[in-house]
Amino acid sequence: PVPFEALLPFAMIGTFFVITASGLSVTKYYANERKPTRHNLDNWDIQMMERDRRLTGTIRGQSSNPVAPLAFATNR
């Protein structure tokens, strides 16, 4: 049998891993405007995210306005 004193450090390490992972997950969630993070982005997705940022001011935002603002043609 293993004395419980030997298992305490492993429990502490595991707890800190869980706390760190949960904190990182929550931080990413709120940074993405409470939407799931995007994975495996290709060039098209990156280009559309940049377009959305230029139109709405945020990467995850979308606009239903069919006409782009006049400044959209030249701003970067």
Intra-chain end-to-end CA distance of the chain, in Å? 66
Whether 74 shows a pLDDT value over 80: the answer reads no
Q: What are phi and psi of 20, to 5 degrees?
A: -65, -45
Mean pLDDT of 59-66: 84
pTM here? 0.64
Q: Which residues contact 53 (CB under 8 A, 6 or more apart)?
A: 59, 61
Q: Which of 72, 44, 41 is nearest to 56 (CA)?
A: 72
Q: Per-residue pLDDT tens for 19-59?
A: 999 999 999 999 988 988 889 999 999 999 988 888 888 88
Q: What DSSP string runs through 6-53?
A: HHHHHHHHHHHHHHHHHHHHHHHHHHTTSSPPP-S--HHHHHHHHHHH
Domain boundaries, the chain: 1-37, 41-76
